[in-house]
Every structure is written in structure tokens, then in C-alpha cells.
Structure 1
Amino acid sequence: MLKTLKSYFGYTSFRPLQEDIINCILQKKDTLVLMPTGGGKSLCYQIPALLMEGTAIVVSPLISLMKDQVEALQNNGIIARALNSTNDETSNANIRFECRQGRVKLLYISPERLLTEINYLLKDIRISLFAIDEAHCISQWGHDFRPEYTQLKTLREQFPQIPVVALTATADKITRQDIVKQLAMRDPQIFISSFDRPNLSLDVKRGYQQKEKIRTIVDFISRHAGESGIIYCMSRNTTEKVAEILEGYGISTTVYHAGLSAATRDAAQEDFINDRIQVVCATIAFGMGIDKSNVRWVIHYNLPKSIESFYQEIGRAGRDGLPSDTLLFYSLADIVLLSRFASESGQQELNMEKLKRMQQYAEADICRRRILLNYFGESMDHDCGNCDVCRNPPQRFDGTILVQKALSAIARTDQQVGTSTLIDILKGAATADIIERGYDKLKTYGAGRDVPARDWQDYLLQMLNLGYFEVAYNEKNHLKITETGKKVLFGHERAQLVVIKREEFLSHEKRKRKKTASHITPVQPEPTMFEDENLQLFEALRALRKKLADQQAIPAYIVLSDKVLHLLASSRPTTIDAFGEISGIGEYKKERYGKEFIAVIRRFS
């Protein structure tokens, strides 16, 4: 395994969980993998595909995603192909021929194409494993549900002996259970990696008007000179307006949304991937197929519809592990419009609840990273220090008794209530529902009379965000106490809550709106520097990488990542063997690119 990792991918050690996942797949066990974007999911099935006999079938939802993955694998010396509608029939026939000869190690295919090939090509070749990428698409609870994914269950019926590997970067507990059920996975091993992306800074700006937003964005981009970034907007119209304004400031910008022709969208994506354009203004239609490792920042011009969407979109920044910045703007207008969309959708209750959690993240007074991690079922017992709340901490108090009152009331209702009923119990409200269900007889009935209902709303929001309870979407949004919550409920841990300063906050908001744009403090990203790095050499290496990429008509980051260039500019190897020892350079890249990169490095030594 390690030999294959070094030879093809240039790494000498695995990231957490990767080795265990690969071992599990090599033992032909069904496996569910949850890893954040940029966490190394692809390696989890690519290494077994190289070690096992036959062809690995990788089901992927987007042609652009397949193209990116196949180009990257081929540039590591691996025979990978994509069978899809963009190929002409001759190309697809050649790919089928190569598969039947047993030459192809990884075959990427869309779910629709898979169903047409299932009784033909797939029955004629030796299959090592099925990898279902972006597996959350199979679940109605997932944030990007795709009906064509639901037919993938047939793989288990037709190929009962072949292991199924499902991979996703975003899936809450309910979605995870649904993935296992929909794919008919047999007693799968479930691996949940940490969802923490400590290299991403998290910032939220609240209540900004368009002029303030634009000034902030222009200032922000000026501090990321020459670095790629994405601006997500809620509407097509907004993407075009923002792009036009940025072009006026001399920032090279393109637009991407579903209203454009396929050719225009493809051109925008290619320009961005190949560093011909610095910024792309896009709706959520953009990005799922982007494997670009050197996106340095992501801005949300509007509030996203869910934490899953937000997490996946910010995850497109800093995939190479280097420091990257994220900025979220939101306003009441965003919430009103998104609420309307959610209420008109086919899953009104679910989408409204998910929007509410997104809104809670944006309004929170506690470490934003803790909120994100708790949403995905991961507890963090310290603040991150890399979000706006941590950098400007609010005043806190010991709220253990308040938390215990709320959790005790949840427990005494057998965890069968939502937030409004819980507040009625704590306040001792004599509503018909409370009396009918006998909640007025509970020991905790009226235990929070001294706290105003609007404050209880705030405290419950904090408790939710701290991970003391979770919301079960599939059980009428009932509240469920978590393991972290039990520690506070039973007196094993104390709870710190934020002091509510509602009136002061509102007056501050009014003052802020009167400020001129020049008073807006832009985000100040940390410079990316490696020990003893020669920045002039880095730029020279970047220029060489661009030249080599253009010659092959592939994105620059596929030749070598930014991280590898920084390592080369800092360690400055002057022999081919030393070049091959750099993390991220495998045998194929060593032989293919070593000579030219060494020549540039020698000029600076």
C-alpha cells in the first residue's frame, strides 16, 4: 500500500483513516466513507483499485468531475477512462475495448450511463469494486438529491460479490442511514473522518447593503492578488451584476449559472480551472465538478440554503491544505427569499428546518467551527481561534443551570418535543397542547419562568450550536439530547453561554449601517510562507508549471499543486532523485517533469 502510494501519488504516509479504509476495501467489505472536501476520499478507492485485479467502476454525477479525476490519474501514470456522453461513439467503443482487455484500472461513469451498460460491458469485464462518489445524492435527506442515483441499488442485485464503497463529504446521521439502505449495503464499515478544516478561516458579515458588500469584496480580493476565488450568489442576475462591477475594478471575472448555454458554462469553467480568470461569480450550479486545489478563497454573497451546501461550497477553498479564507454575507432579505423557496419546495418542513440551522450559524455568538462540526455529529471541546467570533469573543457566563433545566425538560418528555413546546413547558404556559399531553405535571414545568421566552429562544439556539441536543428532521423536528449534553445534564461538565445584549446589538447594527464603506474592516489573510522559501523561485516555478500545463491542455494544479511548488521553493532540490523525494511527486511526475523543474531551481541556487 505504501509503495503504491509513493510510486503513483508521491506521498510517504497516509492521512488519518485512509489506511484502515483501504484495508477494509481490500478485504471486499462494503464501506461508507465520510471525509471533508480535500480530505483524501479519492485515494481511499484509487489505491485498492490499483492493488486489486480488474477494473474499479466509479459512479460520478458530473462529467466535469470525471474529466478532472481522469486527467489527474493519467498524469500520475494510471490508466483511467471516463465513459460519458461527451465522447463520440468511436471513443466510447475504444474505451469498452480497453476495459474488455483488462487494461483500464478505473472507469468513471455517470449513474445513467451505468444503467445502460449494466447488462453489456459490466457483464463482460472483471470488476474489482464499485465506488459511489458524492453518495449523498442518493438520499432524499441529502442536500443534492438526484433521482437517477436511487437506481444504483441494482448493483447489489446484479453483482452480489463485489464490494460497494460509498463516499461523501457531507452527510448528517439521517442521510448516512439512508445511503446504506438505498445502496443495499451489507453490514458496512462506516468511517467518519474529522470534518474540521482548520486551514479555512470563517467570517460572517451581517446586514451589509450592496455598496458595502462590493467595497468589502474588492478590498478582500486586493489582498489575494493573483489568487483564485469563487463568489456564490443566490440568483443568476446577481452573478452577472457582481461580475460586471468587479470587471470595472480591473478584476478578471467570469460568470457561471444554469441560464447560460453549455458551451458558455464549459468555457467559464475551463478559464477558471486553467488560471486564465481569477474570479468566478456563480450560482450553486458551479463547483461540484471542481477539483482545483489552489482556490484560495470563497465568498457567499447571499446566505446558502443549508449548512450542507455551505460546507461543501467553502470546502472548495484550500484543498491543498494551505491557509484559505471564507466570507459569508447575509441579510434579512436573504432569509425571506430562501424561506419562500423552502416553503414552495417538495420537502417544505425539511428545507425550512435546514434553512433555520443555516441562519442560526450566521447569527451565532459562539465559535463557528464548533457549530459546523456539531452539525455533522462531531464534538470539539475548544474554540478554533480562526473565525470572526473567536477573534472578537463575546462575554460569557456559567449557564449550567439553564442548560440543565432545558435538557431535563427534553428528557422528561421522552425527547418528543420541538423548541416551541419546550419553551412553553419551561415558561409554565397552560396551552391546550401542554394540558392535553400532561406536560403541566412534569417536574420541570415552569422551571424557567424567570427567563423571557425570547431569551429562551436565544439560549436554546446556543445549546443547539454547542451540540447539547440535535434536531431529528425525520421525527417532526423533535429534540434529542447528545452525549455532550448528557455530561452537562448529569453534572459532569459546566456549560458556558453567551450574555444576550439584544438592545446594544441592535443599536450597533443601526450605527454600522450609517458607516461609510471606508470604515469596513476587510479580512486580512495570513501570508502563505514555507521555511526558507524563495518567493522569486516560487513565481518562476509557477510560470514553468503553467507552460507545461498549457502544452498538455490540462489545468496547472494537475501538473504540480501549489503546495508542492512551495516545498520546491523552500527545499530547492538540485537532482532528479531529490526532486522525487518531495511530498506529492510520484515516479511518473519525477520522470516526466524533474529535468525542467531542476533546471529552474539550479538557476536560483
Structure 2
Amino acid sequence: MQIEKSLFDNLQIFFGFDTFKGEQEAIITNILQKKDTFVIMPTGGGKSICYQLPALMSKGTAIVISPLIALMKNQVDQLRAFGGSESIAHFLNSSLNKTEIAQVKKDVIDGKTKLLYVAPESLSKVENIEFLRYITVSFVAVDEAHCISEWGHDFRPEYRKIRQVINNIGDNIPIIALTATATPKVQSDIRKNLNMVDAKLFKSSFNRPNLYYKVQPKVDVVKEIVRFIKNNTGKSGIIYCLSRKKVEEIAEILKINGIRAYPYHAGLDAKTRAETQDLFLMEGADVIVATIAFGMGIDKPDVRYVIHHDIPKSMEGYYQETGRAGRDGGEGVCLAFYSEKDVEKLTKFMKDKPVAEREIGTQILKEVIDYSESAVCRRKQILHYFGEDFDATGCDCMCDNCNAEKTYFEAQDSLLKVLKFIQEQGDKFDDHHITNVMMGQNNQPVSSYKHDEHPFFGYGKNEGIVYWKSFFRQAVLENFLSKDIENYGLLQLTEKGKSYLKNPYSIKFILNNTMEKASNTGEASSGEGGNAVDSVLLKMLKDLRKKIAKQKGLPPFVIFQDPSLEEMCIHYPVSIDELKQIQGVGAGKALKFGTQFISLIKNYVEENEIDRPVDLIIKSTANKSALKVSIIQNIDRKIGLDDIASAKGITYEEILKEVESIVNSGTRLNLNYFIDEVLDEDRQNEIFDYFKEADSDSIESALDELGNDDYSFEEIKLMRIKFMSELGN
């Protein structure tokens, strides 16, 4: 009773709370009784109080092992504010100078410091081990404990040494390990590595009912992000990108569009990162664009959205990053953009890694792909990944898949055949292999096991790959099969699967085709993607273009190309500045041809009382990109396009695409020095004269007219660039 009373008293005194959240009270009591404790609690569940409060109540100093300097700083600042004393909490890491380190150690020895935060690298230094031997350590808290496991999303080798260091500091020091994300495999790794097999486990549900999950195809991603933020003005958000370069680029575009956004990544100096973090906490910044380095332990309860510009490397990473939204229980939107190109990039990153690490990474990434492409409740999939069963009706339409119309298929026959196949052939095969068997794909692995002779070979060849992908995801989700992620993703029969073989029944699965269709056609998913083109205005703009073209003796496409006119009919630009942001316009063309177009649009908007989506006219930094500037400079110096391409590490086709983009945006380039080497004067004139009379700028049409045998695609494209540059700009 004494512990209980002092627990509530101290909770009120130090943190100002009247009640504990979830299992906090039981966890803290366990630690105060000097017992090893293992806490798995989702982000926002109140993990930090689980070790901060017992540290404040215990004799001696608690050592808190934390992976990030930013995380330590944030928590130390909070504790000092709660405790009213600078010395109550300290961190010991590489950011301190000798004088500051001496002061930290003095405060600890004098008994003033109740929590000492250290990075695992600092903990293992000989001088720090020597120092910690001479103080009273109340317990050791290992925060972000998933970093111990190679199967965790943020593996850090230094975490593997923690147990050894604790043994060097003293005997029988209690340990509390805490993480927000841990699959059963990672939990096992943590227990074994920290030698706390008998630790009491406190595991909260991973469900965050207030978070809304959505995945959409990566089409016009920058416009989609700016549109989303503008529709959520005044709300705080985090955007995650996989590369530092992309972080800087997105942050810059957001700033240009009037959004208070700042970049955050490990390449920035410590002072800049600390200032950015403080700006976000103090509401001086609305959006942080970051690599995964941002957010661990950041105590900002009112983050309203988390956007993944790139699909994350793992489900653990995705769960932890999305978990930074809505920690106060309020609104939290989690929007991720998915493309197969991102998957290809992540796969390439793994190529040079050791075989074992590559295999682990491949299986972890496959789980992310399955999640992104699936039509099943997102929440159910996330919770299943962490070993938690969830009834999708409990999602309450808090994900895009539960909101979407669904197509079901009867799965009984397929399920029986797949379960029988695994029962008969053993758990030696993954979903990819069994799909090949069912679809009748006779590749080397299939024939080596003689599965091309199996009675089920080709059974489902008419169903297609989308059907089988949907089938296997749901067979695992519904626990008919289990996937051994640690062992190449091999499929195993569960007890439920064995029972189904004995007593089959009708069962319907959801067919997924939304993400595949969107990925293949390059169209965004319903509601959020493209806007309808105003067909009445489009006809008026085409008539104006034709009139101007006739006056100037130019083909209409030289004035503005069709995609530019179509975008004008979505965004209704009414000033030269707005017109410059339309695809394929740029400053040059806007000034040369734009006045009559914006006048027509302005009158049309007023006459029809159109509410213009001003926020959708996205200002871009694309024209200022370093590559484009460099190409223009090299062309001015009359360096061959093939040489520029080689120097930049891109193909000749890619350099032509970049040059065409520069010209279409209104910049005039003199390419005669290069073209004269590629084509003689007569051939140049023939192509030039063709485009003067042509109805469209189609290269295919030009080749049909001029002859495929006489000209190459690249030659026609090169001359089209010259034509557009000389007559259009």
C-alpha cells in the first residue's frame, strides 16, 4: 500500500497526472521491486513515464540507454522542467565538451541526478564504465530495445554489447527494456541478448484506433502532398523520405508554397537539428520533412498527419513513424505513397549487403509490399504483423480499404488445394513458388521438385496473379497459414488450416485490383488523385492557340502543348506567375504567349463564378535544379550532348528528355553545334519543314511520314527540340 500511495503522489507531483495509463502502474511497481521488466507499448502509450517515475523514486541513478541525441535532449529538458532542477537529469554523449562532462559526473556523484541518458557507444567507453562502477545504479532502462535485433527495423550493433557492459558495471542490476515495435522474433532476440529471459512482459495492444491509414499510388506526389497540407492548414505534420536529398528538395518546395517546413536529417549539424526540433515543438514550424532520424521519443502530442513520400523499409519502421501522429488521442492521418520504382530502389540498396542480411531485408520488405498492395483492412494487417488478431469490423472505416467498395471471390476450392499441397509437400515453399504451381508456370524451381507433374499444376492459371496475391495474403491474415519470415517466408499449416482441411466451409476473400490498376495506368486512386478537365474552357483555349498560331505562322503545339492547356483547365491560372507553374510553360513561354491566355481564363472564371483551387497551383523548384542549370551551362560551352550525358552518369535518351524539358519551359538553347555533327543540312531542313506543316508534334507520326529507315527516333526528337527552341521561345 505504501508503494501505491507514493506512486500516485509522485505521479501528481512530478508529472501532474491523476491516473496511470494502461499498465503503467503495474510496470512501475515491478521495477521498484527490482525485477527485470519487458515493456512493449505503442508510441503514445506513455513508455517514458514507466522508467522516469521509478528512477525519481529510487535510490541512486538510473541509466537510460537511448539511440539518439535528439531523443535524450528532449526528455532531459522535460524532466528538468518537471523537477525544477538542472541536475535532476543529464545526458552523457559526444555532443558534450570536457567541462560539461565533468559537471555531469559531479552531479551524479553528489546524488543530484536521478536519470543519466547515454548512447550505447558512450556507455561502452572504458572511462565511462569505470565511472559508473563507483556510483549507485538503481536500474538500467534500454529504450528503443528493438535496435538489438537484426530483425528489428533499426538494428544497431552497439546494442548487442549492452548486457556485457552492464555486467562490467555491477551485479544484479535490474533491467527494463522498452520498445514500441517488436514482432515475436524481435521479442525473443531482446530477451536472449539482454539475458532477461525471465523478465515479466507487459504488452499493450498495438491498435491505435484514432489513426486513419491510407496508401495511394505515387502519382504527382509533390502536388498531392502540397494539396493535402493546404487542406490541413495550421496542423502539425511530419513527412518521411528515404534520402537526405529528397528531404531537402521537398522542404524547399513546401517553403516556396508558403508552408512553414524545415528539413531534418543526420547530415545537418547538431545545432541545426536541435533548433529544428525546438521549432517544431514550439509551433514555429508546421511541417518537418525528415529521414527516419526524426521523431524517436519526440513528445509532441498533436502531430495531425504523417506522410511517407517513399514507402518505408519495414513494417516496424512504418508503424513507429505513423505512431507519431495523434498521440493525444485526437486526429491522426497516416498517408503513404507507393510505387514499384521505390521497391526496386530499396532492393538495389540491399544488393551489396552480406547474403544473410540481404535475405532478412528482402523478407522484411516483402511484408511492406504486401501491406501496400492489399485491399484488406490496413489495421488488421498491421496488428497481424505484430502477432495480434483483430476483427476488421473494429476498424470502423478508419482506413482506405475499409472505406472502399470491395469485390469478393469464393476461396474455398483454392484454399483446400493450397492447404492440401502444403500438407503433402511440406513447409518448404513460399507463396511465390505455390503461385507458380497453381498458375502452371513451369520454371526451374517448379520442375526441380517435379511440381509440373503435380495434379494441381495449372489449376488456377485463369485466375491471374492479382487473384493469387490476394489469396495468399488473406490465407495468412486469417490464420489458415503462417509465414516463417525468418526462413525465406516459407508457408506452414496452422491448427486452423489443419482443421479446415477436415471440415471445409464456404469462405470469401477480397480481390484486390485498385493498387495494381493504378500502378499500371499511372493514375491516382479515387477521390484524391486527378481533377476533371474543364472541357468547355479547353475548347476555348485550343481555339485561342489556333488563332495565335495562325497569326505567327506556327503550328499550334509550338505555342502550348495539349498537357499544358489541360492543366490550365484544372488550375485556372489568372496571372503570369501562376501560369509559370503550369507544366511545360515556364517563364519564357508565359511572357511570350501568356497574356491572352490568362485574360481568357480570368474572364471565364468571373463569368462562370468558378471557385479556383488556388492552393493546387504548386510552385516548383524543378527549373532551378542543379542538373538543368549544369546542362544549360555545358550547352553554352558547346559540349556534345553525349559527352554531357556521360559526365552526368545518364543515358543519351535521358539527356534529350532533360533538354526537351528545358526548352518546353521557355528557355532557348542553341544546339546547332551538336546537330550539325549528327545530321547534314538537307536532312535537318526536311525534318524542320515537316514540323512547320504538322498538326501534331508526335515523333511517331514524323517517322511514319519521313521514313523509319531514313531517320532514327533520337534524330527526330533532337530536331523537334531545335524547332521548339527556335520558334517557340
TM range (shorter): 0.7 to 0.9
Matched residue SS, 1:343? coil
2:483 counterpart residue number: 471
Report the Cα distance in structure 1 between the residues aligned to 2:519 and 2:291, rounded to whole angstroms. 33
1:145 counterpart residue number: 155
Matches within 5 A, 1:405-424: 405-423=417-435
Q: Give the aligned residue type for 2:334.
A: T
Bigger shift: 313-322 or 72-81?
Answer: 72-81
Matched residue SS, 2:82? coil
1:350 and 2:363 matched: no
Contact 1:37/1:315 (8 A) holds in 2 = yes
Distance 1:422 1:504, change over 3 A: closer
Q: Structure 1, residues 207-260: CA drift from partner, whole Å, max 9, x if none?
A: 413xxx233222321232222111112333322222222222211111123333
Contact 1:196/1:373 (8 A) holds in 2 = yes
Could you tell me which of 198, 202, 207 is aligned with 1:191? Answer: 202
Report the Cα distance in structure 2 between the residues aligned to 1:75 and 1:376, rounded to whole angstroms. 35
Matches within 5 A, 1:271-420: 271-346=279-354, 347-383=357-393, 384=395, 385-420=397-432
Distance 1:272 1:500, change over 3 A: closer
How far is 1:10 from its partner?
Answer: 2.7
How far is 1:519 from its partner?
Answer: 5.0
Contact 1:229/1:280 (8 A) holds in 2 = yes
Report the Cα distance in structure 1 between the residues aligned to 2:29 and 2:102, rounded to whole angstroms. 34
1:16 counterpart residue number: 22
Distance 1:432 1:214, change over 3 A: closer
1:162 counterpart residue number: 173
Matches within 5 A, 1:256-271: 256-271=264-279
Report the Cα distance in structure 2 between the residues aligned to 1:363 and 1:432, rounded to whole angstroms. 27
Distance 1:289 1:345, change over 3 A: farther
Count of residue pairs the alignment pairs up:
516
Unmatched segments (≥5 aa) in structure 1: 521-605
1:136 and 2:142 matched: no
Distance 1:218 1:432, change over 3 A: closer
Contact 2:470/2:510 (8 A) holds in 1 = no
1:107 counterpart residue number: 116
How far is 1:372 from its partner?
Answer: 0.7
Q: Structure 1, residues 495-523: CA drift from partner, whole Å, max 9, x if none?
A: 43113558994699466599984359xxx
Q: Structure 1, residues 170-195: CA drift from partner, whole Å, max 9, x if none?
A: 12122211111221224222222111
Report the Cα distance in structure 1 between the residues aligned to 2:242 and 2:442, rounded to whole angstroms. 42
Contact 1:271/1:277 (8 A) holds in 2 = yes
Unmatched segments (≥5 aa) in structure 2: 1-6, 534-729
Could you tell me which of 511, 526, 531 is aligned with 1:518? Answer: 531
2:134 counterpart residue number: 124
Matched residue SS, 2:531? helix
2:674 counterpart residue number: none
Q: Which structure shows the bigger proportion of residues in helix conformation?
A: 2
1:224 counterpart residue number: 232
2:188 counterpart residue number: 177
Matched residue SS, 2:350? helix
Q: Give the structure with higher Rg (CA).
A: 2
Contact 1:38/1:320 (8 A) holds in 2 = yes
Report the Cα distance in structure 1 between the residues aligned to 2:489 and 2:301, rounded to whole angstroms. 37
1:56 and 2:62 matched: yes
Contact 1:425/1:440 (8 A) holds in 2 = yes
1:73 counterpart residue number: 79
CA RMSD after TM alignment: 3.2
Report the Cα distance in structure 2 between the residues aligned to 1:2 and 1:83, rounded to whole angstroms. 30
2:97 counterpart residue number: 88
2:573 counterpart residue number: none
How far is 1:70 from its partner?
Answer: 1.3
Distance 1:258 1:457, change over 3 A: same
Contact 1:487/1:493 (8 A) holds in 2 = no
How far is 1:387 from its partner?
Answer: 0.6
Q: Give the aligned residue type for 2:96.
A: N
2:553 counterpart residue number: none
How far is 1:110 from its partner?
Answer: 1.2
2:712 counterpart residue number: none
Q: Structure 1, residues 89-135: CA drift from partner, whole Å, max 9, x if none?
A: 23322222222233322111111221225542221121111110011
TM-score norm. by structure 1 comes to 0.77
Q: Structure 1, residues 440-466: CA drift from partner, whole Å, max 9, x if none?
A: 999x85595576462323311233344
1:208 counterpart residue number: 219
Report the Cα distance in structure 1 between the residues aligned to 2:205 and 2:459, rounded to whole angstroms. 36
Contact 2:515/2:525 (8 A) holds in 1 = no
How far is 1:58 from its partner?
Answer: 0.6
Distance 1:60 1:494, change over 3 A: farther
Could you tell me which of 233, 236, 240 is aligned with 2:241? Answer: 233
Query: Identity over the aligned pairs, expressed in percent?
Result: 40
TM-score norm. by structure 2 comes to 0.65
Report the Cα distance in structure 2 between the residues aligned to 1:204 and 1:403, rounded to whole angstroms. 28
Report the Cα distance in structure 1 between the residues aligned to 2:174 and 2:16, rounded to whole angstroms. 27
1:572 counterpart residue number: none
Could you tell me which of 35, 40, 46 is aligned with 1:34? Answer: 40
